[in-house]
Amino acid sequence: MSITPRYGDALQWTDALHREQRRKGKAVPYIAHLIAVSSLVWEDGGNEDQAIAALLHDAIEDAGQSHGSIAERFGAPVADIVRDCTDTPAELATGEKEPWLLRKTRYLESLANKPEASLLVTAADKAHNAGDMVLDAQRDPGMWSKFNTGLAGSAWYMLRMHEELSDRLPRSRSVLKLGEAVNSILESPTYQALIPDRQTTKAWTQHYPDRHMG
């Protein structure tokens, strides 16, 4: 797989867009996540457009960019993937976001209609996020409090994401990594302590929306 100067240009722009941002609750520069996601895309057989889109997958939601601004620099195929990875509509990305559960439910429902080129990037993003959660929780079980929905909401979303992606990308390395991370979360003592008696882990997790939809 060849790499052209476009990839270096995308890396430089990514740095400029996210230079002041950090990973949630940590001092780690946000670009570390974007580079990791791009690396997973390469390792999963992705092409340069997908690897560039991975670097820019949060540019609409978190860096004030649009489909048009990305397409102007790197072409419509890259911009299309970035848009497909965004769970907040472009017109709302720069304002107050809709409720978390509404956004995530709608995004999960949209996956069936997204092309595999976009799903490969989504899988890499979720795999890195979930793996990061597992490692952080091993060092500090209380770290789930930095997420608005806590452990229960995060577990539900990652489980449902893995279920949807497994159907579309059964051979994906990132989907495999995501599944391993989800299992680690669901089997952790911290998560098991949340589950009421006589309920299975998977069933209780899947019914998270029923318990929280207003």
pLDDT score of 147:
82
Task: Give the model confidence (pLDDT) of 7-32 as tens digits.
Answer: 999 999 999 999 999 998 889 999 99
Residues 149 and 115 in one domain: yes
Same domain, 80 and 112: no
187 lies in the same domain as 203: yes
Give me the domain span that covers residue 15. 1-93
Residues 204, 135: one domain?
yes
Last residue of a domain, one of 64, 93, 122: 93
Determine the pLDDT at residue 119. 98
Report how far residue 206's alpha carbon sits from residue 48's, in angstroms, rounded to the nearest whole number.
Answer: 35
Q: Are residues 108 and 162 in the same domain?
A: yes
Is residue 205 domain-shared with residue 160, that is, in the same domain? yes
- Let me know if 214 is exposed, middle or buried by CB neighbors in 10 A (0-12, 13-18, 19+): exposed
Q: What is the pLDDT of residues 168-205, one digit of tens each?
A: 999 999 999 999 999 999 999 999 999 999 899 999 99
Same domain, 128 and 173: yes
The strand pairing partners of 22, in sequence order, are 29
Q: Are residues 104 and 176 in the same domain?
A: yes
Question: What is the value of pTM for the model shown?
Answer: 0.94
**What 3-state DSSP class applies to 196?**
coil
Structure confidence at residue 2 (pLDDT)? 78
| Number of domains comprising the chain | 2
pLDDT-based confidence at 145, cuts 50/70/90? confident
Note whether 190 and 138 are same-domain residues.
Answer: yes
Q: What is the mean pLDDT of residues 19-47?
A: 95
What is the chain written as a DSSP string?
----HHHHHHHHHHHHHHTT-B-TTS-SBTHHHHHHHHHHHHHTT--HHHHHHHHTTTHHHHS---HHHHHHHH-HHHHHHHHHT-SS-GGGTTSPPPPHHHHHHHHHHHGGGS-HHHHHHHHHHHHHHHHHHHHHHHH-GGGGGGSTTHHHHHHHHHHHHHHHHHHH-TT-HHHHHHHHHHHHHHHSHHHHTTSPTT--HHHHHHTHHHHH--
CATH number at residue 73: 1.10.3210.10
Asked whether the predicted pLDDT for residue 142 surpasses 90, the reply is no
The 10s digit of each residue's pLDDT in 48-107 is 999 999 999 999 999 999 999 999 999 999 999 999 999 876 555 555 678 899 999 999
Average pLDDT, the chain: 93
Instruction: Give pLDDT, residue 9.
Output: 98
Residue 183's pLDDT is 98
Please indicate, yes or no, whether residues 24 and 120 belong to a single structural domain of this protein. no
